[in-house]
Chains A and B, each alone.
Chain A
Amino acid sequence: MEQPSLQSSLLGKFQPEVVTTDDSSDIYTIVVKKDAIVEVVEFLKEEMGYQFLTDLCGIHYPDRELALGVVYHLHNFKTNTRIRVKTFTSVSEPEIASLTGLFAAANWMERETYDFFGIQFVNHPNLVRILNVEYLDYFPLRKEYPLEDQTRGDKDDRFFGR
């Protein structure tokens, strides 16, 4: 989905190394340096009319240097367009600024993302686990925790009922 006007205003406001665009998927996508995420989303919200935070979720690419990502979906009701904003960080420094100052909806979505990916949202009012138990000491949706292989043969059927 090509959005030339948005692209030019984004590139006019931010340096090209801060914001890179990508038209390859179904929604116009921008990748933002994590230091600038609040600034860019605020610009999109206040000046470009993307006033609705549809979705926020994490993603993990263990092979990349910046392995942890956060994907935001914003919606502009006036022009009825969506935009996808992505930002990436490394596992050793999982801090990303929180969007709770801009969207109240981000509160639980960020807690969920923290719960499953261990991304620390800076300035979040109450960053604790939301769906998992509090004493869980790992972040289950990261790729280093694979689900059990359905075909493994080292389990005794008498105990596992298969």
Chain B
Amino acid sequence: MGALLNQRFLTLAVLAVVIAVLPLVFPSSYYFRVASLVWVSALAAIGLNILMGQAGQVSLGHAAFFGIGAYSVAIGPAHLGIPPWAALSIGAALSAVLAYLVGRPILRLKGHYLAIATLGLGVLVALVISTESRWTGGPDGMPVERLTLFGWRVSGSYTWYWVTGALLLVGTWIALNLDETPTGRAFRALHDSEVAAQVVGVDVARFKLQAFVIAAVYASIAGSALAFMNGFINPDQAGFLHSVELVTIVVLGGLGSVVGSIVGAAVLVTLPQALTVFHEYEHLLLGLIIIVSMIFMRSGIVPSLSGLFLRRARA
């Protein structure tokens, strides 16, 4: 237990140091922006990883919750006069309620059926967002009022780098802790074998639902953060491709690995930025990279690499 505690502490400490040191090597504010995007995507992916890696359930519509979080902070202040920070909480609560209501029937499904159900949910939410243009600005998107906390106007890529970095640290801390709680252990039991988990008395349905709700809240908060940071939001954030991106980050980084989700986000967010040099070939290369990394590191970057190191260490 002591060793585990240390390992958890070590992970957090390393992450904190990385967040603190990176600005020293960043030549321009553009880098702060890209890094903030990585932190936000990583936050959403860590949540999704609790559902996928720990509870073993797939969601192909997770961007829906990301979108709900983003549009809550856009619509709340603009149309309903709700303060931005309250809109963020309301978005998270809405996501949690939706995940709870839909999750109950959906999570009974298995494998591909669960995939299509979550996919359907994602498509529906994205459709509503791009259709109800009176509220959401439609396919063109809508501006988001800046976040103000106790009179402090949070803006600028430098500031948002620290805010999103702090959010990521908190998210990581919670996820790492969850791993060691009875709930986290129940999640992993589910992942290994639902039948076995049921036999030893784990309330399978309840824990799946819990994982789904937690994942939804993570995505929603990440979505709100991105909307505040960009000052603008469009329906793509809730779309199918974004859902795929989140799933890819989780699997690429490594199912069940919190650090993996951060590494996966770093790879998948920075790559397209680097590939803009090749402009025309961006999609081609992205597809190629996804295929190649899935074939050669099918258990994900972090588990594959740490497996390699362990084998080396033993040899």
Genuine A/B complex: no
Chain B residues packing against A (C-beta within 8 Å): none
Chain A residues packing against B (C-beta within 8 Å): none
